Amino acid sequence: MSSLVTSDQRTVGQFSVGPISYGLWRFTNDDLATAQAIIEAALDAGMNLIDTSDVYGFDWGGTGFGTVEALLGRVLAAAPALRDRMVLATKGGIIPPKPYDSGAEYLRSACEASLSRLNADVIDLYQVHRPDMFTHPAEVAGTLSALRDEGKIREVGVSNYTPDQYEALAAHMAFPIASTQPEYSVMHLAPLRDGTLDRCMRDGVTALAWSPLAGGRLFADGQEGPGPALVAVLDELAERESVDRAAIAIAFVLAHPSRAVAIIGTQNLDRIAASNAALSVNLDRQDVYALVQASEGVPLP
């Protein structure tokens, strides 16, 4: 069987990154040794893109805005060699309860505050976390360009942007956008249908798919979980491939020809390593379309 799942490196601007990356939304403990062990496990598993945000820590059991970046900064201060092993990515532009601000003054201050919390000289990938619909994209582009010219960031991306919002910003950028970060999973197929992944293929932009396991809903029962048809297909494929449901879901994200990256966020060291089982999964067109049809609940035309 010829598999659509690609396990080779992806390109994010000037950087080569693994097909699975590690996200820090749930990285809200305050124990330095535990935090360092988690980062090392992710890097050892080939997840060299470490994705965080200034707003992480504001929820999911965190103690406040900026605390996840600060914890990662403590890890990097204690073990500076880890910085050379990672592509450091963070995001800004959410300021509770405003809630969004991509104006020049705030976006610059957010980036500079992230640099300080992270104990970093430069951020490899800086993404606008959510679009500020009341800031002109030319202003956003000007701020990002200035930060890049000053050596504070290396590459620029967007997160949770619609295709049109992406287009509007790209039209004002003097250099290419490197990434877009949509929610994408077998339970959330919008990027497959709304043009997000098509633009990635057109422009050579890498999609960083957040919540590839649907925030854990993939394993839930009842209304929050996957429907019976999707469960049946997922579990049939998992049995065939001798993996668990999570590996099939991650493999589904990796099967798209845009060469998306799947961002996982488990805090369990064994599960971090086990996520690489997805890289050996074989999915063909019949498999991926069966998953799409089961997810959407209607026959394909």
In angstroms, the CA 209 to CA 265 distance is 12
In angstroms, the CA 44 to CA 48 distance is 8
**Is 56 annotated as catalytic?**
yes
In our burial notation (b when 16+ CB lie closer than 10 A, e otherwise), range 132-155 reads beebebeebbbbbbebbeeebbbb
First-residue to last-residue Cα distance in the chain: 25
Q: What are the phi and psi torsion angles at 81 (to 5°)?
A: -65, -20
Active-site residue identified among 22, 56, 126, 184: 56
Exposed (0-12), middle (13-18) or buried (19+): which is 293, by Cβ within 10 Å?
Answer: middle
In angstroms, the CA 184 to CA 192 distance is 8
Which residues are annotated as catalytic? Answer: 56
